[in-house]
């Protein structure tokens, strides 16, 4: 439970900062999802949702 809350907070703040500078979330989320153990194809697909 604690990890999911921390992960949600991290995703929120990363999205907020990247939106302010005009960059896409995939720049950070794809590598983050791969580090967390997602398959590369799933990480690329999931990064489009954010």
Q: Which of 34, 16, 26 is nearest to 50 (CA)?
A: 26
The full 3-state SS of the chain, as one line of letters, equals CHHHHHHHHHHHHHHHHHHHHCCCCHHHHHHHHHHCCCCHHHHHHHHCCC
Q: Where are the domains of the chain?
A: 2-47
End-to-end CA distance of the chain: 21
Question: How far does CA 45 lie from the centroid of its chain?
Answer: 11
Residue 50: pLDDT above 60? no
Structure confidence by residue, pLDDT tens digits, 3-43: 788 888 888 888 888 888 877 767 777 888 888 888 888 88
pLDDT for residue 2 is more than 80 = no
């Amino acid at each position: 439970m604690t990890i999911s809350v921390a992960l949600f907070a991290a995703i929120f703040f990363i999205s907020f900062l990247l939106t302010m500078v005009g960059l896409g979330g995939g720049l950070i989320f794809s590598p983050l999802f791969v580090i967390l153990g997602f398959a590369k194809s799933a990480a690329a697909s999931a990064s489009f949702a954010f």
